[in-house]
Amino acid sequence: MRTPIVMGNWKLNGSKESVTALIKGIEAAADAAPNVEVAVCPPAIFIDQVATLCANNSIEFGAQDISTEVSGAFTGETSTVMVKEFGAKYSLVGHSERRQYHNETDALVAAKFVAIQANGLVPVLCIGETLEEREADVTKKVVETQIKAVIDLAGIEALENCVIAYEPVWAIGTGKVATSEQAQEVHAHIRSWLAEQSKVVAEKVQILYGGSVKAASAKELFAQPDIDGGLVGGAALIVEEFVGIIEGAK
Ligand code: PGA
């Protein structure tokens, strides 16, 4: 059995005050769901604050993006070693907003994936097709290519210790959630494609769905056999919504 994960991606949102309110608002629900792992990915500047707030609850946390480098002359970057020092468990990598607005290629995403693992964090590899790609019926090919870039660099075994987040780009922040059938179809494909390379990886890897997940849609999505939780953007900033999504994963 794979433990479901409900992970909030706060993106570029928050203040010292709202970060405290959000963690205080969700911690009881997280602690009351021992069979669900709850995690948040705040902007890097709030990681220290989140670490302090989560010292005595079950909420895990991670970075939204990370440098391939550990230290040095790389202005503006945050390294795996730094976030690890604060107790982070995860780092997202390859989020579609990074791919879209920062021109992150599959090769760079793969290099970041390797850096994350090399320094003891768990990568959450974000993949997903655009609307044009879905309409051109190449969704499966797109997600295979995105995962293959990591396998080519790190080997299939590297995927034993990672999380995959399938996030159709057309569903992110649009209110257009994929139907549970649409999501399950892609999740099942990813798992069977991985199984051709390693049954162990295919069985073990948690595949989260992301893209306009709300409390109202969470339960049905998470009931699908190959959906192991969610990566949640907008709804992760609203206590009642995020708590409802945690409930949906129980
Ligand atoms: P959304 O974002 O839930 O606001 O669609 C999800 C994500 O980008 O991870």
Q: Is 187 a catalytic residue?
A: no
CA distance 90 to 49: 16
Which domain covers residue 167, as residue numbers?
Answer: 5-248
- Burial pattern 71-94, b for ≥16 Cβ within 10 A else e, equals eeeeeeebbbbbbbebebebbbbb
Which atom of ligand 1 sits closest to the CA of residue 210? Answer: 6
**Looking at residue 17, which CATH number applies to its domain?**
3.20.20.70
* Count of the separate structural domains present in the chain: 1
Span 215-242, pLDDT tens digits? 999 999 999 999 999 999 999 999 999 9
Annotated catalytic residue 189: no
Alpha-carbon span 44 to 21, nearest angstrom:
18
Quote the percentage of the chain above a pLDDT of 70: 100
Task: Write down the pTM of the prediction.
Answer: 0.97
Beta carbons within 8 Å of 99's beta carbon, 6+ residues apart: 105, 109
Q: What is the mean pLDDT of residues 172-187?
A: 93
User: In the structure encoding, which two tokens stand for residue 55, read together?
Assistant: 């010292």
- Give the HSE-up count for residue 103: Cα atoms under 13 Å, Cβ half-sphere: 0
Residue 174 CA to ligand 1 center (angstroms) comes to: 9
Name the pLDDT band for 175 (thresholds 50, 70, 90). Answer: confident
Residue of 163, 231, 237 to test ligand 1 pocket, by largest number of atoms within 8 Å of CB: 231
Amino acid at 112: K
CA distance 172 to 230: 12
Tokens of 75: 């202005």
Helix (H, G, I), strand (E, B) or coil at 27: helix
Nearest atom, ligand 1, residue 211 CA? 5
